[in-house]
Amino acid sequence: GCCRLLCKPSALAQHLVQSLGRSAALRGGHWLWPRWPWLQMLRQLLQPPEPEPVVARELLQLPDTGLVALDWLVGPRGAGGSGGSPSSVLLLIPNAAGKVTGGLRQLGLRALERGFIPVIFNRRGHNGCPLTTPRLQPFGDPADLREAVTYLCCRHPAASLLAVSEGSGSGLLLAYLGESGSSSRLAAAACISPIFRGREWFEAGMPWLYEWPLLLHLKRGLSRYSRSLAEVVDVDGLLGSRSLRELEEALFCRTKSRPTSWESYWERNEPLRDADEAAVPVLCLCSADDPVRGPPARSLPLELFRSSPYFFLLLTPRGGHCGFPQRRPGRCWGHEAVLEYFRAMAEFMRQEERRKGLPRPR
């Protein structure tokens, strides 16, 4: 349809063009109000999935005794499970506020129907995960995600591991891919409506229809741990934050033990700081009318997609922020495109292994 794939020419790029071009998902992405990205954003943020998935939670203890939560999606009626022998485990990463949207759960259900084992990664203190240490995860610090990936590889050693992130959660996934390089243990990754430039995004300010629900969601979760957080941050200032930028500064810059500047914080947490080291194919699904990310000319790193053989930009003129709705209620053509991308990637790798006569990695 009107989608464009921007990437460096390669055999993989040609295969993706053919596979995505044949996909019915990219030809059927229409909605009754395509010019209203605000409605698409609110629909994606507030609408619950149908049916509501059944989730089995697992807590993973980290080296400093902190906890992250892994939520295994086991189907609307408990069908399936996390203990089988899947062909692929799909790691779902929510936005940076820890809001697990109906859209992310719906993607998990679509993946479950296609034979994936989907699992949602919840950061420290997010989405009901207990905060056992007075420490939260910075915007682009992939240390906790690395521990979760290691655990998933140990739990499902015969399965390939894929990852997909939503919105500002892509900052964490992109930082992980850059820091890990060829040791990421991921076969492929995808980012839906990613935020590429974290500092500019916070400083530019966000639409209040998007920012305030997430700000209240974060404050509600942090207020549960006000006593333990009082050891390291000014809790009154934290809960009195009037923007996501103020809250980010209160949590990670104006700390009592090791305060740092806003500039230094982003030197360590920009999503693309090590993008040249990434060695895993990454599909970034973006809309030109995304009201949260900002104008494409300012917010899309087009040169990265032209120069790196691992980054692919699927750009559509309309779709809002993580919206990409279809006429069928509760369906998102962006989810279908991401799952088709993972299928095409697996097909390409099998072809390459047969062509080169290489044994499949254990």
Q: Known catalytic residues?
A: 290, 321
**Is residue 132 within 8 Å of residue 66, measured between CB atoms?**
yes
- Look-up of token digits 């399965």: 159
Q: How far apart are CA 120 and CA 118, in angstroms?
A: 7
Show Cβ contacts of residue 103 under 8 Å, excluding neighbours closer than 6 positions. Answer: 44, 47, 49, 166, 322, 332, 335
Longest dimension (CA), the chain: 62
Q: How far apart are CA 118 and CA 123, in angstroms?
A: 16
Residue 261 exposed, middle or buried by CB count within 10 Å (0-12, 13-18, 19+): exposed
Amino acid at 252: F
Cis status, amide bond into 51, omega within 30 of 0: yes
C-alpha closest to that of 137 among 34, 221, 15, 252: 252
Residue 308 exposed, middle or buried by CB count within 10 Å (0-12, 13-18, 19+): middle
Run of H or E residues at 155? helix 143-155
Q: How far apart are CA 100 and CA 120, in angstroms?
A: 8
C-alpha closest to that of 95 among 115, 122, 69: 122
The three-state secondary structure class of 274 is: coil
**Is residue 321 within 8 Å of residue 44, measured between CB atoms?**
yes
CA angle 348/344/280 to nearest 5° reads 70
Residue 28 exposed, middle or buried by CB count within 10 Å (0-12, 13-18, 19+): middle
**Is residue 116 within 8 Å of residue 86, measured between CB atoms?**
yes
